[in-house]
Amino acid sequence: MKLVITGGAGFIGSNLAEELSKEKDNEIIIVDDLSTGKMENLRKFNQNINFVRGSITDLNLLKRTFKDTDYVFHQAAIPSVPRSIKDPIASNNANVNGTLNVLVAANDCGVKKVVYASSSSVYGDTPELPKRERMTPNPLSPYAVTKLLGEYYCKVFTEVYGLKTVSLRYFNVYGPRQDPYSDYAAVIPRFINRVLENKPPVIYGDGEQTRDFTFVKDVVKANVLAAESDANGVYNIAYGNRVRINELANMIMKLMGKNLKPIHDAPREGDVKHSLGGIAWAKKNLGYEPRYSLEEGLRETIKWFGLGKLV
C-alpha cells in the first residue's frame, strides 16, 4: 500500500512511520516541514520511506503527494496549548487550514481513508469522568478549538463527499522521541530531563490535577486499527486510568533512583484539572486495547533517554 504520514518526522508520526515501515511492501511517504519534527527521528529506518519537506498549508504539494495513496495518517499540527495561547493565528493556520487542505487533497486523489490526530483537550474541564465521545465538547484553548474544528471537517467530508475519516482523540501521549527541550514540552519528558540533570521536577499548580497517560505504541496501534477498520467518526485513545501529577513525579524519580523535592509553580493557562478517557467505544469499533501500563511505558521511555539502570 501507499501510505502518507503528515508530520511523520514528529514524535507520534515517527513512531507510526517506524511501525508501518516494518511491512516491506508498503510505500511510505512523510510530509513534514520540520518546524517541530526532526530528521533524526527517522534515522534508524529512513531507508524504507520517502521524505517530502513541505507544509500541509501547501495544497498543491499535498495533491501531488497524495496521488494513488491508499491511506493518509494526518499527524501534522502545532501541538501545544501554551503555544496556541501565545500565537492563535499560527495554530489556526496549521491545524485548521492545514487539516482542510489534507481533506481536500485526499478527497480529490481518491484516498480510501484519512486518520486524523485529534486531542482530549476538546473536552475541556467538564466535571464528568471518564470523558466519553457523546459528551458536548468544551474547548478551553485555541489549540483545543483547532482540534475540534478538524474533527468537524472530517465529519463533513465523510457525510458530504463520502471520504472515510476517523478522528482519534489522544489522551496525553508519551514515549520515545518526545522532545524534552521544547518550551512547550509535555510533562513526562520534562520531568525525566529535570531528574536526569539532578534537578527537581517542576509541577504547575498543586499537582493534584490528574491525567490519563497513553503510551505512544498504543497510539500507533490505534492508528493502524482505525485505518484497517470500517469505522468512521470520533474515538478516544487513552489508557483508561488516571494518575495525579504529584504521583507521576514520584514514580519517575523512583524509577530513576532519585529522591528530589518537586518545585510547584503557577498553574498554566488553558490546562484542565482532571482528564480520564473512556475507551469502550474504541474497543468495540476499532478493537483497540491498550497494552502498556504507565509504569511499563515509563520504563521504556526512560530507557530511550539513555539513563542507565532503572530501580
* Residue environment code for 16-48, b if the CB has 16+ CB neighbours within 10 A, otherwise e: bbbbbbeeeeeebbbbbbeebbeeebbeebbeb
Least Cα distance to 14 among 201, 220, 155, 162 occurs for 220
Whether 116 is a known active-site residue: answer: no
Distance CA 242, CA 213 (A): 7
* Cα distances (Å, whole numbers) of residue 213 to 68, 218, 244: 36, 11, 11
Q: C-alpha cell of 37?
A: 519534527
Residue 231's φ and ψ, nearest 5 degrees, are: -70, 150
Query: Of these residues, 71, 116, 123, 143, which one is catalytic?
Result: 143
Angle between helices 216-228 and 11-20 (to 10 degrees): 60
User: What single DSSP character describes residue 277?
Assistant: B
Q: C-alpha cell of 44?
A: 534508524
Positions marked active-site: 143
